[in-house]
Amino acid sequence: MAFYNSMSQFLFPLIWCSILICLSSGFPTSESSVSPSKAEQDFEMFQQWMAEHGRFYPNSEESNTRFQIFQRNLKYITETNAKRSKSTYGYRLGLNKFADMSPEEFTQTYLRPLEVPANIAPASSSSSYVQQQDSCAPPATMDWRKQGVVTPVKDQRRCGSCWAFGATGALESVHAITTGKLVSLSEQELVDCDPLSRGCAGGWPHNAFEWVVQNGGISKEEDYPYVARQGRCKANMHDGDKVVKISGYSKIPQSDDALLCATSKQPVPVAFNATDLQFYKSGIYGGENCPEGSTGVTHVALIVGYDSKDGTDYWIAKNSWGENWGMNGYFFIKRNTNLPHGVCALNAWAYVPNV
């Protein structure tokens, strides 16, 4: 920490000088109209943000680039919040650890488009459909976190492995519900070993469930720790450590009611379009920029409950971007919209493991 502070004291004046030179010379052109006082305020916020998130850049050129991105993101957040100040959803954006990433860079790193399965019928003897039950009478609200069956929020880091975190989250919870034992499971084992997924380049929870069935179980996280990159499969080294086993998996019908019924029984991993969630801070996300009829998805999260606020129904979702994103790693997304596939295709590709 002492080294970081000393380097910061040395580099910040140099970086600031170079930024002022760039601004005075008209570079970058998109920010050339920013007044010095506004630039100073933005840079002070940038310094504070760097210190808060432990960010350090190798040279002034990279620092300049990241500062310009930070300024554009700050402007977008401020203007978007101003437009949404009267929104019934109360959806707000804020600066977070992704504030120095352009939307394009963020999308490329965290939101890989998932290829829609060739057909949505059961793919193997391990899979089946869960039909909506007329007798299903879910409670008015549900939060599985309060039942002690949800592990702490994890961080997938710079690896497109959200699908693995969604799968393990569901497996952890259903195992805890049925046995009373909450165990953190290995996302890395899925990243390394699931042949139907693409490691850090994306995948599907139901393919992960299929692998767990065929493998005879999945290892604990402590036995097969996460490293945020795909490596050689070492599942055969942990044959004695398969702590959670499942008999198969089921697809939830594409409706809010069916997902509600399923969530009342166990947390459910869902794939959806997460394009607008880079700077999510709080409130109920309404999917304002998601195509209504599309089933295209870019991310996987875990629905751990549901509730309502001021007449707006919402899902409680656990993300895999760390506790310093959103509401301690969670977000709310609107439900009961009458959209064909739910908000941002949330209802289109929901699967649950069967114990």
The pair of three-digit structure tokens given for residue 126, joined into one six-digit string? 């391990």
Scanning the structure block, which residue is given the tokens 């198969």? 248
Scanning the structure block, which residue is given the tokens 């506004």? 38
d(CA 342, CA 212) in angstroms, rounded, equals: 28
Determine whether 319 is an active site residue: yes
- What are the E-state strand segments in the chain? 92-93, 127-129, 142-143, 218-219, 242-244, 248-251, 268-272, 280-282, 284-285, 299-309, 312-318, 330-334, 351-354
% helix / strand / coil in the chain, to the nearest 5?
Answer: 40, 20, 45
On whether the CB atoms of residues 227 and 191 are closer than 8 A, the answer is: no
**Count of Cβ atoms closer than 10 Å to residue 35 Cβ:** 9
Active-site residue identified among 175, 206, 299, 341: 299
Please give the radius of gyration of the chain, using alpha carbons only, rounded to the nearest integer. 22
User: In degrees rounded to 5, what are phi and psi of residue 242?
Assistant: -80, 90
The pair of three-digit structure tokens given for residue 291, joined into one six-digit string? 């195509």
Active-site residue identified among 96, 207, 273, 319: 319
Give the three-class secondary structure for 284.
Answer: strand
Question: How many angstroms separate the most distant Cα atoms in the chain?
Answer: 70
Scanning the structure block, which residue is given the tokens 């930070």? 70
H-helix segments, 25-157 = 36-53, 60-83, 103-110
Please give the positions annotated as active site: 299, 319
